[in-house]
Amino acid sequence: MTNFARSERRSLAALLRTLGPDAPTLCEGWDARDLAVHLVIRDRRPGALIGNAMPGLASRSQGLQDRATQAEAELAELPWGELVGLVAEGGPRWNPMSWGPLDRLANTAEFLVHHEDVRRAQPDWEPRDLAWDLNARVFAMVRSMVLPVSLKAGRHLVLEAPGFGTVSAGRTVHPSTTLRGTPVELLLWLFGRQEHARLEVTEPGPPRES
């Protein structure tokens, strides 16, 4: 089975090397160096990320946040080639997320989306012609994500990927939005990159009566 997490990781690292640390990304407030630091911490110091995710745990959280800040500062000082090399290398063996099946599960969407975050922040970008099996894998992710996104948005979503299927979620009494495009464009929309996903969008009509 092709490990698309690994191939997207390596493609992203190659692009980062080419563009340099100051290149823009779609991640608000982050340039390429900030994104690379985030990915290396995710791979090698996952405990540091917990500090940012648990601000309500007072003293415990403060210690974790301090470690996260220190880790970010240390990595940000690395030479660009070394930092990107760590992105390409991935997590150490002790990190289960670096193991084949878990790598595919945890990292395929992460690296595909962040690869597009860098690509689509550059001028004159165009969508990639991705392999059918990668699109099929991505559409499976879309299926798993659409319900929580629709519930959070308070709308009924219909996602159509010609050649791969249609999935809908959310209460039909809510306004309905239909999105049509490739699985990767649908995934980017679900990940909050709505302004940069190339989709046919049918906006919601009047709310239905319950």
pLDDT in tens, 11-26: 999 999 999 999 999 9
C-alpha distance across the termini of the chain, in Å: 46
Beta-carbon contacts of 148 under 8 Å, excluding residues fewer than 6 positions away, are: none
As beta bridge partners, residue 176 has 156
Residue 20 to residue 37: CA distance in whole angstroms: 13
Helices marked H in the chain: 4-19, 32-44, 46-53, 58-76, 80-89, 100-119, 132-153, 183-190
Residue 193 to residue 184: CA distance in whole angstroms: 11
pLDDT in tens, 101-151: 888 888 999 999 999 999 999 999 999 999 999 999 999 999 999 999 999
Residue 126 one-letter amino acid:
E
How many other C-beta atoms can be found within 10 angstroms of the C-beta atom of residue 209?
Answer: 5
pLDDT in tens, 155-204: 899 999 999 999 999 888 878 899 999 999 999 999 999 999 999 999 76
Residue 136 to residue 186: CA distance in whole angstroms: 12
Residue 113 one-letter amino acid:
V
Beta-carbon contacts of 108 under 8 Å, excluding residues fewer than 6 positions away, are: 4, 5, 8, 137, 138, 141
Helix (H, G, I), strand (E, B) or coil at 90: coil
Res 209 pLDDT > 60: no
As beta bridge partners, residue 169 has 157
pLDDT of residue 91: 82
Q: Which domains does the chain have, with CATH numbers?
A: 4-119 (no CATH), 138-202 (3.30.1050)
90-105 in b/e burial notation, b at 16+ Cβ within 10 A? bbeeebebbeeeebbe
Where does residue 163 fall: left (phi above 0), alpha (psi -120 to 50 degrees), or beta otherwise?
left
Nearest to 13 by CA among 122, 103, 93, 89: 89
The token duo for 166 is 């249609």
Distance from CA of residue 90 to its chain's centroid? Answer: 16
